Protein backbone atom coordinates (compact mmCIF):
# COMPACT_ATOMS: atom_id res chain seq x y z
CA UNK A 1 0.00 0.00 0.00
CA UNK A 2 1.21 3.48 -0.87
CA UNK A 3 -0.05 6.63 0.87
CA UNK A 4 0.60 10.16 -0.40
CA UNK A 5 0.69 12.72 2.41
CA UNK A 6 0.39 16.39 1.53
CA UNK A 7 1.94 18.95 3.88
CA UNK A 8 4.75 19.24 6.44
CA UNK A 9 2.85 20.31 9.55
CA UNK A 10 1.62 18.52 12.66
CA UNK A 11 -1.05 16.40 10.94
CA UNK A 12 1.15 15.44 8.00
CA UNK A 13 4.13 14.36 10.11
CA UNK A 14 1.86 12.43 12.48
CA UNK A 15 0.22 10.56 9.59
CA UNK A 16 3.61 9.81 8.00
CA UNK A 17 5.07 8.44 11.23
CA UNK A 18 1.95 6.33 11.85
CA UNK A 19 2.17 4.94 8.31
CA UNK A 20 5.86 4.18 8.74
CA UNK A 21 5.14 2.22 11.92
CA UNK A 22 2.53 0.20 10.03
CA UNK A 23 4.95 -0.66 7.22
CA UNK A 24 3.12 1.44 4.63
CA UNK A 25 5.03 3.03 1.76
CA UNK A 26 4.93 6.81 2.19
CA UNK A 27 5.54 9.69 -0.19
CA UNK A 28 5.28 13.09 1.47
CA UNK A 29 4.68 16.14 -0.70
CA UNK A 30 5.25 19.64 0.60
CA UNK A 31 7.90 22.11 1.77
CA UNK A 32 11.24 20.91 3.10
CA UNK A 33 10.75 22.54 6.51
CA UNK A 34 8.27 22.12 9.36
CA UNK A 35 7.20 25.40 10.99
CA UNK A 36 6.25 25.66 14.64
CA UNK A 37 3.33 28.06 14.30
CA UNK A 38 2.22 28.24 17.99
CA UNK A 39 5.26 30.42 18.77
CA UNK A 40 4.88 32.99 15.97
CA UNK A 41 4.22 35.84 18.41
CA UNK A 42 7.70 35.42 19.90
CA UNK A 43 9.23 36.45 16.57
CA UNK A 44 7.48 39.84 16.86
CA UNK A 45 9.16 40.59 20.19
CA UNK A 46 12.51 39.13 19.18
CA UNK A 47 12.37 36.33 21.74
CA UNK A 48 12.63 33.84 18.88
CA UNK A 49 14.46 34.06 15.58
CA UNK A 50 12.51 32.76 12.58
CA UNK A 51 15.08 30.02 11.95
CA UNK A 52 14.47 28.67 15.46
CA UNK A 53 10.88 27.86 14.47
CA UNK A 54 11.85 26.15 11.19
CA UNK A 55 12.99 22.53 11.36
CA UNK A 56 14.01 20.18 8.58
CA UNK A 57 12.65 16.77 9.61
CA UNK A 58 14.91 13.73 9.20
CA UNK A 59 12.48 11.88 6.97
CA UNK A 60 12.92 8.12 6.50
CA UNK A 61 10.53 7.98 3.53
CA UNK A 62 10.25 9.56 0.09
CA UNK A 63 9.74 13.31 -0.07
CA UNK A 64 8.82 15.50 -3.03
CA UNK A 65 9.26 19.23 -2.51
CA UNK A 66 6.42 21.08 -4.19
CA UNK A 67 2.79 22.18 -4.12
CA UNK A 68 -0.18 19.98 -4.98
CA UNK A 69 -2.67 21.65 -7.34
CA UNK A 70 -5.15 18.83 -7.84
CA UNK A 71 -6.15 15.53 -6.20
CA UNK A 72 -8.25 13.05 -8.17
CA UNK A 73 -9.95 10.11 -6.46
CA UNK A 74 -10.11 7.41 -9.14
CA UNK A 75 -12.05 4.85 -7.11
CA UNK A 76 -9.26 2.31 -6.69
CA UNK A 77 -6.40 4.83 -6.39
CA UNK A 78 -5.63 8.55 -6.21
CA UNK A 79 -3.67 10.81 -8.53
CA UNK A 80 -1.96 14.00 -7.39
CA UNK A 81 -0.93 16.71 -9.82
CA UNK A 82 1.80 19.10 -8.70
CA UNK A 83 2.32 22.71 -9.74
CA UNK A 84 5.50 21.57 -11.52
CA UNK A 85 3.45 19.29 -13.78
CA UNK A 86 4.64 16.13 -12.02
CA UNK A 87 2.02 13.42 -11.41
CA UNK A 88 2.08 10.99 -8.49
CA UNK A 89 -0.15 7.96 -7.92
CA UNK A 90 -1.00 6.29 -4.61
CA UNK A 91 -3.61 4.08 -2.99
CA UNK A 92 -4.73 6.81 -0.59
CA UNK A 93 -4.13 10.53 -0.07
CA UNK A 94 -3.95 12.29 3.30
CA UNK A 95 -4.26 16.04 2.84
CA UNK A 96 -2.75 18.18 5.60
CA UNK A 97 -1.68 21.38 3.80
CA UNK A 98 -2.94 23.66 6.58
CA UNK A 99 -5.07 26.72 5.94
CA UNK A 100 -4.37 30.10 4.38
CA UNK A 101 -4.88 33.54 5.94
CA UNK A 102 -8.24 35.13 5.18
CA UNK A 103 -7.42 38.77 4.37
CA UNK A 104 -10.32 40.70 2.79
CA UNK A 105 -8.66 44.15 2.94
CA UNK A 106 -5.42 45.63 1.60
CA UNK A 107 -2.61 47.20 3.60
CA UNK A 108 -2.42 44.70 6.47
CA UNK A 109 0.17 42.17 7.62
CA UNK A 110 -1.26 38.64 8.00
CA UNK A 111 0.12 36.45 10.79
CA UNK A 112 -0.19 32.73 10.09
CA UNK A 113 3.22 31.43 8.96
CA UNK A 114 6.84 32.11 9.93
CA UNK A 115 7.35 34.22 6.77
CA UNK A 116 4.43 36.40 7.91
CA UNK A 117 6.00 36.87 11.34
CA UNK A 118 9.28 37.88 9.69
CA UNK A 119 7.48 40.48 7.57
CA UNK A 120 5.63 41.87 10.61
CA UNK A 121 8.91 42.12 12.55
CA UNK A 122 10.48 44.10 9.70
CA UNK A 123 7.46 46.42 9.63
CA UNK A 124 7.71 46.94 13.40
CA UNK A 125 11.43 47.71 13.23
CA UNK A 126 10.81 50.19 10.42
CA UNK A 127 7.97 51.90 12.32
CA UNK A 128 10.18 52.42 15.38
CA UNK A 129 9.84 51.91 19.11
CA UNK A 130 6.93 54.39 19.43
CA UNK A 131 4.80 52.66 16.80
CA UNK A 132 1.02 52.46 17.05
CA UNK A 133 0.11 48.83 16.45
CA UNK A 134 -3.38 47.61 15.61
CA UNK A 135 -4.16 43.89 15.78
CA UNK A 136 -7.35 42.85 13.98
CA UNK A 137 -8.92 39.80 15.60
CA UNK A 138 -9.01 38.68 19.24
CA UNK A 139 -8.60 34.93 18.83
CA UNK A 140 -5.59 33.01 20.08
CA UNK A 141 -3.13 34.53 17.57
CA UNK A 142 -4.35 38.08 18.09
CA UNK A 143 -4.23 37.88 21.88
CA UNK A 144 -0.75 36.34 21.92
CA UNK A 145 0.61 38.93 19.48
CA UNK A 146 -0.82 41.74 21.61
CA UNK A 147 0.55 40.23 24.82
CA UNK A 148 4.01 39.73 23.35
CA UNK A 149 4.23 43.29 22.02
CA UNK A 150 2.94 44.71 25.31
CA UNK A 151 5.67 42.75 27.09
CA UNK A 152 8.34 44.55 25.03
CA UNK A 153 7.02 47.83 26.44
CA UNK A 154 6.98 46.46 30.00
CA UNK A 155 10.56 45.21 29.55
CA UNK A 156 11.73 48.64 28.34
CA UNK A 157 12.40 47.41 24.79
CA UNK A 158 9.75 49.59 23.16
CA UNK A 159 7.07 52.19 23.75
CA UNK A 160 4.51 50.47 21.54
CA UNK A 161 0.88 51.53 21.74
CA UNK A 162 -1.03 48.30 21.15
CA UNK A 163 -4.76 47.95 20.57
CA UNK A 164 -7.13 45.23 19.37
CA UNK A 165 -10.06 45.49 16.96
CA UNK A 166 -12.83 42.89 17.08
CA UNK A 167 -15.74 42.73 14.62
CA UNK A 168 -17.97 40.84 17.05
CA UNK A 169 -19.79 42.38 20.02
CA UNK A 170 -17.69 40.24 22.41
CA UNK A 171 -13.98 39.56 22.81
CA UNK A 172 -12.57 36.31 21.43
CA UNK A 173 -15.85 34.88 20.08
CA UNK A 174 -14.12 31.81 18.62
CA UNK A 175 -12.26 30.81 21.77
CA UNK A 176 -13.68 27.80 23.63
CA UNK A 177 -14.98 28.04 27.17
CA UNK A 178 -17.32 30.88 28.09
CA UNK A 179 -15.41 31.56 31.30
CA UNK A 180 -12.29 32.69 29.45
CA UNK A 181 -14.14 35.74 28.15
CA UNK A 182 -14.67 36.83 31.75
CA UNK A 183 -10.93 37.12 32.42
CA UNK A 184 -9.58 38.43 29.09
CA UNK A 185 -10.61 42.12 29.63
CA UNK A 186 -8.83 42.23 32.99
CA UNK A 187 -5.63 40.72 31.54
CA UNK A 188 -5.66 43.18 28.64
CA UNK A 189 -6.12 46.15 30.99
CA UNK A 190 -3.30 44.81 33.15
CA UNK A 191 -0.96 45.04 30.16
CA UNK A 192 -2.23 48.37 28.83
CA UNK A 193 -3.85 46.87 25.75
CA UNK A 194 -6.96 48.72 24.57
CA UNK A 195 -9.68 46.91 22.65
CA UNK A 196 -12.64 47.99 20.54
CA UNK A 197 -15.65 45.77 19.81
CA UNK A 198 -18.10 45.94 16.90
CA UNK A 199 -15.17 47.14 14.80
CA UNK A 200 -15.43 45.49 11.39
CA UNK A 201 -12.51 46.76 9.31
CA UNK A 202 -13.50 47.79 5.80
CA UNK A 203 -10.47 49.76 4.56
CA UNK A 204 -6.92 50.84 5.36
CA UNK A 205 -5.88 54.24 3.97
CA UNK A 206 -3.02 56.62 4.84
CA UNK A 207 -2.18 54.92 8.15
CA UNK A 208 -5.87 54.98 9.09
CA UNK A 209 -8.10 52.00 9.73
CA UNK A 210 -11.68 52.66 8.68
CA UNK A 211 -14.46 50.50 10.10
CA UNK A 212 -17.76 49.67 8.47
CA UNK A 213 -19.59 52.13 10.74
CA UNK A 214 -17.21 54.97 9.80
CA UNK A 215 -14.90 55.08 12.81
CA UNK A 216 -11.17 55.61 12.21
CA UNK A 217 -8.12 54.39 14.09
CA UNK A 218 -4.57 55.54 13.40
CA UNK A 219 -1.92 52.84 13.21
CA UNK A 220 1.63 52.53 11.87
CA UNK A 221 1.42 48.74 11.63
CA UNK A 222 -1.73 46.65 11.18
CA UNK A 223 -1.49 42.94 12.02
CA UNK A 224 -4.28 40.75 10.63
CA UNK A 225 -5.24 37.82 12.89
CA UNK A 226 -8.91 37.63 11.98
CA UNK A 227 -9.26 34.16 10.58
CA UNK A 228 -8.17 31.69 7.93
CA UNK A 229 -9.59 29.99 4.87
CA UNK A 230 -9.25 26.58 3.26
CA UNK A 231 -6.34 25.56 1.00
CA UNK A 232 -6.31 26.22 -2.72
CA UNK A 233 -6.34 22.59 -3.91
CA UNK A 234 -8.74 21.31 -6.56
CA UNK A 235 -10.44 18.10 -5.40
CA UNK A 236 -13.20 17.29 -7.91
CA UNK A 237 -14.86 14.65 -5.72
CA UNK A 238 -14.92 16.77 -2.56
CA UNK A 239 -17.36 19.26 -1.09
CA UNK A 240 -16.11 22.57 0.22
CA UNK A 241 -17.78 24.66 2.89
CA UNK A 242 -17.54 28.22 4.13
CA UNK A 243 -14.25 29.94 3.19
CA UNK A 244 -13.19 26.86 1.21
CA UNK A 245 -12.61 24.41 4.06
CA UNK A 246 -12.87 20.80 2.88
CA UNK A 247 -15.94 19.03 4.22
CA UNK A 248 -15.22 15.69 5.90
CA UNK A 249 -17.33 12.82 7.16
CA UNK A 250 -17.13 11.29 10.62
CA UNK A 251 -14.04 9.30 9.54
CA UNK A 252 -12.17 12.42 8.28
CA UNK A 253 -12.65 11.40 4.66
CA UNK A 254 -13.38 14.22 2.22
CA UNK A 255 -17.13 14.10 1.63
CA UNK A 256 -17.82 12.62 -1.80
CA UNK A 257 -14.43 10.87 -1.94
CA UNK A 258 -13.43 7.30 -1.09
CA UNK A 259 -9.66 7.50 -0.80
CA UNK A 260 -8.96 11.09 0.23
CA UNK A 261 -8.65 12.04 3.91
CA UNK A 262 -8.27 15.59 5.25
CA UNK A 263 -6.66 16.44 8.59
CA UNK A 264 -5.76 19.54 10.58
CA UNK A 265 -6.72 23.12 9.73
CA UNK A 266 -7.78 22.33 6.14
CA UNK A 267 -10.78 20.26 7.26
CA UNK A 268 -14.24 21.22 8.46
CA UNK A 269 -14.05 18.78 11.39
CA UNK A 270 -15.73 20.05 14.55
CA UNK A 271 -12.69 19.53 16.78
CA UNK A 272 -10.73 22.63 17.77
CA UNK A 273 -8.07 23.71 15.28
CA UNK A 274 -5.16 23.05 17.61
CA UNK A 275 -1.84 21.27 17.05
CA UNK A 276 -2.75 18.51 19.49
CA UNK A 277 -5.91 17.69 17.56
CA UNK A 278 -4.08 17.70 14.20
CA UNK A 279 -1.66 15.12 15.61
CA UNK A 280 -4.60 12.89 16.54
CA UNK A 281 -6.18 13.40 13.10
CA UNK A 282 -3.06 12.20 11.30
CA UNK A 283 -2.66 9.11 13.45
CA UNK A 284 -6.35 8.20 13.24
CA UNK A 285 -6.70 8.30 9.44
CA UNK A 286 -3.85 5.80 8.98
CA UNK A 287 -5.46 3.44 11.48
CA UNK A 288 -8.84 3.89 9.78
CA UNK A 289 -7.71 3.22 6.22
CA UNK A 290 -6.06 0.03 7.50
CA UNK A 291 -9.31 -1.03 9.20
CA UNK A 292 -7.75 -0.84 12.68
CA UNK A 293 -10.06 2.02 13.74
CA UNK A 294 -13.61 1.39 12.57
CA UNK A 295 -15.46 3.77 14.86
CA UNK A 296 -15.93 7.44 13.86
CA UNK A 297 -13.26 9.89 14.91
CA UNK A 298 -13.90 11.27 18.39
CA UNK A 299 -12.28 14.67 19.06
CA UNK A 300 -10.41 15.15 22.31
CA UNK A 301 -10.56 18.96 22.19
CA UNK A 302 -13.97 20.51 21.59
CA UNK A 303 -15.76 23.68 22.65
CA UNK A 304 -17.31 21.60 25.44
CA UNK A 305 -13.94 20.06 26.45
CA UNK A 306 -11.35 22.78 25.80
CA UNK A 307 -7.69 22.61 26.72
CA UNK A 308 -5.66 25.60 25.61
CA UNK A 309 -2.93 27.92 26.81
CA UNK A 310 -2.72 31.59 25.81
CA UNK A 311 0.64 33.22 26.53
CA UNK A 312 0.62 37.00 27.00
CA UNK A 313 4.38 37.36 26.89
CA UNK A 314 6.80 35.28 28.99
CA UNK A 315 5.33 36.10 32.41
CA UNK A 316 1.55 35.99 32.06
CA UNK A 317 -1.20 34.13 30.29
CA UNK A 318 -4.51 32.32 30.47
CA UNK A 319 -4.80 28.54 30.89
CA UNK A 320 -8.07 26.85 29.94
CA UNK A 321 -8.52 23.29 31.21
CA UNK A 322 -12.07 22.12 30.70
CA UNK A 323 -14.10 24.39 32.99
CA UNK A 324 -11.10 25.72 34.90
CA UNK A 325 -9.44 29.00 33.91
CA UNK A 326 -6.12 29.94 35.53
CA UNK A 327 -4.24 33.20 34.93
CA UNK A 328 -0.55 33.83 35.44
CA UNK A 329 2.70 32.10 34.50
CA UNK A 330 1.31 28.61 33.89
CA UNK A 331 0.35 29.21 30.24
CA UNK A 332 3.74 30.55 29.05
CA UNK A 333 5.55 27.82 31.00
CA UNK A 334 3.44 25.06 29.40
CA UNK A 335 3.87 26.58 25.94
CA UNK A 336 7.66 26.72 26.36
CA UNK A 337 7.69 23.03 27.30
CA UNK A 338 5.44 22.06 24.40
CA UNK A 339 7.63 24.02 21.98
CA UNK A 340 10.74 22.09 23.02
CA UNK A 341 8.97 18.72 22.82
CA UNK A 342 7.20 19.33 19.50
CA UNK A 343 10.26 20.76 17.74
CA UNK A 344 12.28 17.72 18.78
CA UNK A 345 9.53 15.39 17.53
CA UNK A 346 9.43 17.32 14.25
CA UNK A 347 13.20 17.20 13.79
CA UNK A 348 13.18 13.43 14.39
CA UNK A 349 10.07 13.00 12.18
CA UNK A 350 8.38 11.16 15.05
CA UNK A 351 5.25 13.23 15.61
CA UNK A 352 2.52 11.42 17.51
CA UNK A 353 -0.66 12.23 19.45
CA UNK A 354 -0.14 13.47 23.00
CA UNK A 355 -3.29 11.60 24.07
CA UNK A 356 -4.71 8.31 22.71
CA UNK A 357 -7.08 8.36 19.75
Residue-averaged pLDDT of the chain: 95
Instruction: Give residue-wise pLDDT tens across range 231-255.
Output: 999 999 999 998 999 999 999 999 9
Residue 356's pLDDT band, with cuts at 50, 70 and 90, is confident
Name the nearest CA neighbour of 300 among 324, 272, 323, 320. Answer: 272
Structural fold of domain 109-224: FAD/NAD(P)-binding domain (3.50.50)
Asked if the domains 2-31+66-99+230-300 and 109-224 are classified in one and the same CATH topology, the answer is yes
Instruction: Give residue-wise pLDDT tens across range 306-322.
Output: 888 999 999 999 998 87
Query: pTM value?
Result: 0.94
Q: Distance of CA 36 to CAs 52, 124, 310, Å?
A: 9, 21, 16
- What is residue 269's predicted lDDT score, i.e. its pLDDT? 80
CA distance 96 to 26: 14
Instruction: Give residue-wise pLDDT tens across range 174-210.
Output: 887 677 888 999 999 999 999 999 999 999 998 999 9
- What is residue 182's predicted lDDT score, i.e. its pLDDT? 85
Burial letters for 39-64: b for 16+ Cβ neighbours within 10 Å, e otherwise? bbbbbbbebbeeeebbbebebebebb
Pairing of strands 34-35, 54-55: antiparallel
Residue 260: how many CA atoms within 13 Å on its side-chain side? 29
Whether 283 shows a pLDDT value over 80: the answer reads yes
Dihedral sign computed on CA atoms, order 15, 16, 21, 27: positive
CA distance 306 to 16: 27
- The helix-helix angle for 10-21 and 330-348 (nearest 10°) equals 50
Q: Where are the domains of the chain?
A: 2-31+66-99+230-300, 109-224
Backbone angles phi, psi at 5, to 5 degrees: -115, 125
Strand spans (E) along 118-251: 132-136, 161-165, 194-196, 201-205, 208-211, 216-218, 221-224, 228-229
CATH class of 2-31+66-99+230-300: alpha beta
**Residue 318 CB neighbour total at 10 angstroms:** 26
Amino acid sequence: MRVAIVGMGFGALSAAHAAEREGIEVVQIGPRHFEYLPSLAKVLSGRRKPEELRVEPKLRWDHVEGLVDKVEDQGDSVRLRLSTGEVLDADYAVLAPGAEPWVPVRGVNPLYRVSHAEAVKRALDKAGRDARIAIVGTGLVGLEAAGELAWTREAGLSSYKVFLLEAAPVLSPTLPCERVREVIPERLRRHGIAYFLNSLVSEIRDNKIITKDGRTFEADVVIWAAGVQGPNIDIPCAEKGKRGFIMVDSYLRAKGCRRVYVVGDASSDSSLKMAEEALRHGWYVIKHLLGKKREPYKPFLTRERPFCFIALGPRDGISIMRRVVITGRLAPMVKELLERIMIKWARDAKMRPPVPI
